[in-house]
Structure formats: structure tokens, C-alpha cells
Amino acid sequence: MRAYALLVVLLFIGNTTMSQNCDNSLSGKVTDLHDGQLLIGVTLTIANTEQTVQTGYDGTFTFPNLCNDTYYIQVSHPYCLTKEFTVRVNGDTTKSFKLEHHLEELNQITIEGSAYSDKSKTILENTIDNEALERFSSGSLGDALNSISGVSSLNTGKTVVKPLINGLHSSRVVIINNGVRMEDQEWGAEHAPNIDINAISNLTVIKGAGALQYSGDAIGGVIVAEASKVPVKDSLYGKNLMTAASNGRGSSLSSKLTKSYQNGWYATMQGSLKRFGDFEAPDYVLSNTGMFERSASLQVGFNRFDYGIEGYYSVFKNEIGILKASHLGGAQDQIRAIESTIPLTIEDFTYKIDKPKQDVSHHLARLKTFKRFDEFGKLSFQYDFQRNNRLEFDSRRGDDREKPSVDLELDTHTVLIDLESDLIDEMMLKSGLMARYQNNFATDTGVRRLIPDYQMYDLGVYFVADYQLSKQLLLEAGARYDFTFMDVFKFYRTSFWESRNYDQLFPEIVVEEYPTEILTNPQLNFNNGSATLGATYTFAENYNLFFNYSVASRAPNPSELFSEGLHHSASRIEIGDLRFNSEISHKVSLTLRHDDDDNFSFCVTPYINTVSDFIIIEPVEVRQTIRGNFQVWEYRQTDAQLLGMDVDASYAFTNNVYLKSQFSLVKGYDQTLDAPLIGMPPINIGNEIVYQNPDFNNIRLSLQSAYHFKQHDFPNNNFEVYIPQTETYEEVDISSTPNAYHLLNFNSNIDININQQSKLTVGFSITNLMNTSYRNYLNRLRYYADDLGRNFLLNLKVNY
């Protein structure tokens, strides 16, 4: 009986086994969760078995000989967090997987200035990575960007550095800080971006208006500052940075700490402190040029494959001294200062920041969330708020001596909705909506307001699509529309109002007339369209050709429209024009790039940018006021053309020694007057020879050479002033440009392992190695003093 029962059981099991179909297959592909890119070399393993496969060059995989059953599959990749998936196989089954693609950023070393991302696929993007940014920890965003070809800076001394891309700056260059467009009175030539360079891990420069998802008015280009990605795993890491510098006798401290969890939660805290006294030229102290910068940020978020949310808040505060010798008495002092080889005011070194000075604070808050939908794409929503408070102090008397001469508070609210969709395997579509409200309030300081009270409303819509026509050819096209409405209340001096013929052109905007002033309410509308069309072609071996044509239009900013008074920290009187139209730019750029990991790489980018109704500001006279003698700079509109070329090249002599070279040329022409444009950067050439040995504590030694030619193309803006002391007229030469100059810089660093989790990096640098006396054409204080002398810097970084 027992033998019979056992036989029945064995027959049952055998029949079940024979009926099980194990000829099925499981196939599919593995892609990057963020951009849908196929991942190569992904390992897939069925749990509790030895069945393992890898994705090939097409990102696909196949498991053969599977039964109708439930399987637990482990999917891993060197740069991704390993994940497990549950799959039910019933016949031949297709299943695709997505991985969170995180680079190991803590120890990542990349080639500076050559990385390519997807912000614009037909304009070559230049990037500066985290390792390179840390060398500028005691400097500014503008200092770091100077290391990229085609990017220079418009300076007001050492501490106010504005990026200038292919000859354009201020409102024509859009800065994106952690996904937020910076709104910080950027129209001012001496208004530096309110960004702590130690709070970002990656800088990308897009030289043109092709990245329409960020803006349609970036006639000069877009700068994207991003924080490092946080891995979705249990981790705690951070870093401390300390820099001490001889010039300015100051230091900077920065600390960052990140905590992340396997379930997706993470938080990052960061803070910085910088303090410098008076900086020094090779032969004298640059009195009242110290600075005191403080910043802090907090980032908290939750990130999963298909949804996430993040909150971010930062505060930035900077007190900046303005060279005392730039604020003068009478017209004769103006002439003496320009003709003198040394400043008219030189005092002993001090950490005290006296008037004239700036005191700027900037608050930024952002809330962003996203959700991924199958067959639809990634939908993102973002709200951000910014408050910028700018105080400018001048020498005043009596009860007002501690009161600022300029007190501006700018509040900005922005809502963004973006959608990224894979329409088909070969095509990606980005589209979005933007709504922005801005309110500027100018506090009464007893001084005529340079910028009036206003409210501004912006609405924008865009789309950008790229299509992979073939393996070698990618096409990109996009369009954007922006509407801007300004509601302004401004007092005009009656004499100025009539001299401009505004009484005949704009009588309808007059609200009320006073004995010497007129209150007006201009309400202005601007409709701006932008577009881009480009292609990227890959040919031969490691050759890429980028072509892009972009149209950008920019509404005039409030300074260009309404300025009428003394801009104290700029040390000049500025005058705008209510009659301005929007600028319209047509830019064509072509880039040939060759990448060779073993030996020689180069990149050549010629471009031409034609701008109708181009707004420029230029000096027209010197005017005596009760606060001193100041140059008068006036805005006007013309047609302009900018032509140029950027060249990058690198050559590896050995595995450890390589040479990097850069060349930048830009020529700007006023087509209306048939004359050169003011403020164009001169030709410059840079070379850097680097020795780096990863096997010997990652030691890095570099010697940099920078040669700046004399600018020979400039307009003649000289004018005559009356000198009461001699009852004569003398010419004020503010057009002549400084001589060419050559600078040498040395940079070094070495890694020292403290333990398995911590590493100390020690860096030593010398800028202006030969202590060369020079004046930079793009430094607005070049009329009054030389630029910085030699500077020794010690950098210490601890990763943990």
C-alpha cells in the first residue's frame, strides 16, 4: 500500500514537471532614469541562481530558458545604486529597467572646460568641475569663469567681478543658481552675482541663447551653477575648505555636510565666511577695497525613481569697499587722477570698510517637485522666491552720514512648469511655462532715486525638440515667447523731462506736476520671441561639428529706461531713455571639436552676433555735484555686430604631463556710427603646463601664462571740461586703453590620506608671480589705480 502511494506521488510530480514550460525568455533594455540614455555594461542576475547577463552596446539584455514563474532580478552598474526588481515571466516576456545614474563625485577627476551635457545639444558647453572650483574658494564666480575661453570679466576692483561672455554682460547674461534664475539688480556694471562659489559643484557656460528652457533674452549666454547630486543610499559625507591669502591679508572658510538615506531622504547644509582687508597693487595699498562675505544654505529633499520633492534656502550677504580714490572733488581732480600713475588717495592697510561701499544681501527659497508618468514623461513644478536688498553708501554729512544713498529692495516670485517627454526613441521634447512677478521698492534716502519703484510681470512659454536623425546626425529646434509688462512710478526733473522732449512724446503718462518735478506712471509692454535651430554631426574618429543659429530678444531693463542720477558705487551719473525698444540678436556659431584621450584635442568656435537696437552706455561729460565731480554716462540705442573666435587645445606629452592652450578674440562694431563698440575685451592668450600623477598622492603642479593684448579698437569718448581755477578747458581722456601685459601664475596641490574615509588636500598657489604692474581695460577702476600685485594662497581641504 505504501509503495503504491509513493508511486502515485512520483507520477504526479513527474507530470507537473514535464508540463512546466522552461523555454521562455526575458528580454528588455536598461536606461538612465533621468534622460533615457541606454546604459552599457549593466549586470543582471537572477537571485539564487548563477544566471547572469550584461547589456551590450545597444543597452539590451536577454535571459533564455526561463520557466513560467516569478523571478527576483538584481540590476547593477558601476555608477548606479544596485536595485532589485520582481518580474513575472509568462511566455516570452519583455521588461525594461531604469537606474538612478549617479557619478562618484567625491573623487571624480574630469578634464576642465570640455565636458558636454544636454542643456543645449547644438552649442558646445564649457564646464568647470568641482575640483577646479575649489581652487577659487577665496574668489568669486567671475574669477572661476575667467578660466574658460571666450569668458572674461567686467571688474570694479578685485571684489566686484561680473562675467562677460563673448563681449556681453549684465542683463544679457542669465545666471541660473540651483535651478533659479538670479534676480539681483544684475543691470549694474558693478553688481556682482550674489552666489557663493563654495556652494556649487559644477559650472556650465552656454555661449549663446540656444538653451531656451532657461531664458529667451540671454543674448550673451547662460551660466548654470549646480550643486552636486545626492546619492540614494545611506551615507554621511562632507568637506571643509580653508584658504589664507597674503594680498588682502585675509582668509575664507567653508564647510559642507550631506546626509542621505536608502529610502530617498537627504539633507545638505553649507556655510562660508570670507574676510579680506585692503588689497594691494605692486607699489601701493588700494585703500578701502576690503570685503566681508557670509553665506549659508540648506537643502532637504526626497528622491525616488518616479517622484521627488526638494526644498532649498540660501542667504548671501556681502559688504564691499569701493576704492576711495575713485570718488573725487572737482573737474581738475578728475583730470589729475586719470593722468596720475598712482591713486590720489593712499592710506595705510586696514580691515575697515569705509564709505563708499556696498552692502548687499540676497535670500533665495525654492520648492521643486517632479513626477514621472509612463508614456508621458517627467513633469516638474517649481516655485521660487528671491529678495535682494542693495545698499550703497557715499560720504554724507550731518544726520544722514550713516544713511545709504541707494536703498533698493527687489522681490521676485517665479512659477515654472516643465515637461520632458520621449515622443519616440529618437526624439526628445522639452516644453514649459513660466510666470514671474517682480516688485522693486526704492526707499527714500534723501538722494534722487536712480531706479524708481516698479512692478513687472513676465509670462513665458517654450519648447525645444531634438531628433536623432542618424547615428551621426542630431537636429535641434526650439521656440520661445515672452511677454513683459512694467508698471512704473517715477519722478522726473522738469528740466530733464522737457530737454528729452518727453512732454511732447509721453504727455499721457503724467500723473501730477510739481514746481520742479513731474510724477509719471509709464506702463510698458514688450513682446519678445526667440528661436533656435541647430545640428550636431559626428564624423571620422572623435570629431564633432556643432552648428547653431539662434534668435534672442531682450526687453530693456529698468536702468536702461529710467536711470537719472548718481550711481554711487559706480562713481558716475547714469542717464537712461524711456524710448528704447527691445534688442533683437541673431547669432550664428560653428564649433569643430576633436577629442583624443591619448594625445591631442582641440576645439574651435567662430561666431557672429548681429544685434539690432543694441543698448550701450558710454561717457559723455563730467558734471560737478554737491557730492563731488563725476563722469556722466548715458545709454543710447544703435545697431551692433560682434564677431569672434574661441580656441581651446590640449596636448599630452606623457601620461602625466600635458599642455592646455586658449585663445579668445572678439570685435564689436557700432554699425550706426561705423565705430568700435566700447568695453570689448582685447585679444588674450592663455597657456598652462600641468604635471599630474595619480599614483603619487595625486600631486598636481601647473604653471599658467596669460597674455592680454592692448585694445586698439575703441571709440573716442573724450570730452572737454571747464577748470574754474585756470579758467580754461581741458580734455578728459577716458578712451585710451592700457598697455598689454603678461601674467604668470603657479598652482599646486597634493592629496594626503588621513584614513579610509578622510583625505586632506593641500594646495599652494601664487598669482601674478612676477608682481607685474598692469591695468585691465575691463576694470572700471583702471582710471585711478593699478590692478592687484603678487598674491600667495594656501588651500586646505578635508573630505570626510
Same domain? For 732 and 646 the reply is yes
10 Å CB burial of residue 500 (0-12, 13-18, 19+) is middle
Question: In Å, how far from its chain's centre is CA 400?
Answer: 38
In this structure, are strands 221-226 and 173-177 parallel, antiparallel, or unpaired? parallel
* DSSP assignments along 237-271, one per residue: EEEEEEEEETTTTEEEEEEEEEEE-TTSEEEEEEE
A 10 A CB-CB count for 452 gives: 20
At 598, the pLDDT band (50, 70, 90 cuts) reads low
For residue 3, pLDDT beyond 60? no
pLDDT recorded at residue 433 = 96
CA distance 329 to 341: 18
- pLDDT tens for residues 406-464? 889 999 999 999 998 877 767 888 999 999 999 999 888 878 888 899 999 999 999 99
pLDDT recorded at residue 70 = 81
Same domain? For 456 and 413 the reply is yes
Q: What is the 3-state secondary structure (H, E, C) of 5-64?
A: HHHHHHHHHHHHHHHCCCCEEEEEEEEECCCCCECCCCEEEECCCCCEEECCCCCEEEEE
Same domain? For 118 and 83 the reply is no
**Cβ–Cβ < 8 Å for 564, 492:** yes
Three-class SS of residue 668? strand
Percentage of residues of the chain with pLDDT beyond 90: 52
Same domain? For 188 and 243 the reply is no
**Which grid coordinates are listed for 414?**
517665479
10 Å CB burial of residue 6 (0-12, 13-18, 19+) is exposed
* Torsion sign across C-alpha atoms 136, 140, 141, 146: negative
For residue 110, pLDDT beyond 60? no
Task: State which amino acid sits at residue 48.
Answer: N
Same domain? For 119 and 20 the reply is no
Which contiguous run of DSSP H or E holds residue 435? strand 427-442
Same domain? For 266 and 173 the reply is no
Whole-number Cα distances in Å, 409 to 190, 387, 607, 725: 17, 7, 38, 42
Mean pLDDT along residues 601-606: 94
Which of 186, 204, 225 is a domain's end point? 225
Same domain? For 411 and 482 the reply is yes
CA distance 155 to 540: 43
* DSSP assignments along 704-722, one per residue: EEEEE----------EEEE
pLDDT recorded at residue 108 = 30
pLDDT recorded at residue 705 = 96
**Which grid coordinates are listed for 124?**
558646445
Same domain? For 678 and 743 the reply is yes
Domain span at residue 520 reads 226-799
Which of 182, 209, 225 is a domain's end point? 225
**Which grid coordinates are listed for 44?**
543582471
- pLDDT tens for residues 14-67? 444 344 568 888 988 888 765 567 787 888 888 877 788 888 767 789 998 888
CA distance 246 to 226: 30
**Domain CATH number, residue 243:** 2.40.170.20
Mean pLDDT along residues 621-632: 74
* DSSP assignments along 541-586, one per residue: TTEEEEEEEEEEEEPPPHHHHH-EEEEGGGTEEEE--TT---EEEE
CA distance 547 to 591: 7
**Domain CATH number, residue 156:** 2.170.130.10
Mean pLDDT along residues 236-246: 93
Same domain? For 210 and 245 the reply is no
pLDDT recorded at residue 115 = 32
Mean pLDDT along residues 331-353: 87
Same domain? For 13 and 157 the reply is no
At 135, the pLDDT band (50, 70, 90 cuts) reads confident
Whole-number Cα distances in Å, 553 to 172, 418, 479, 542: 10, 22, 12, 35
At 330, the pLDDT band (50, 70, 90 cuts) reads low
Cα 375–Cα 381–Cα 382 angle in degrees, nearest 5:
155
Average pLDDT, the chain: 86
Among candidates 435, 413, 315, which has minimal Cα distance to 367?
413
* Sheet with 69-76, edge to edge strand ranges: 52-54, 43-46, 69-76, 83-89
Q: How many structural domains compose the chain?
A: 3
**Domain CATH number, residue 30:** 2.60.40.1120
pLDDT recorded at residue 700 = 94
Which of 35, 70, 104 is a domain's end point? 104
pLDDT recorded at residue 101 = 61
Same domain? For 178 and 310 the reply is no
- pLDDT tens for residues 492-523? 999 999 999 999 999 999 999 999 999 999 99
Alpha helices by DSSP H, 232-391: 331-339
Three-class SS of residue 327? coil
A 10 A CB-CB count for 14 gives: 10
For residue 227, pLDDT beyond 90? no
Q: Which residue has the higher pLDDT, 119 or 745?
A: 745
- pLDDT tens for residues 536-588? 999 887 899 999 999 999 999 999 999 888 776 667 888 999 999 999 999 99
For residue 69, pLDDT beyond 60? yes
DSSP single-letter state for residue 179? T
For residue 109, pLDDT beyond 60? no
Mean pLDDT along residues 155-181: 89
Same domain? For 203 and 291 the reply is no
For residue 374, pLDDT beyond 60? yes
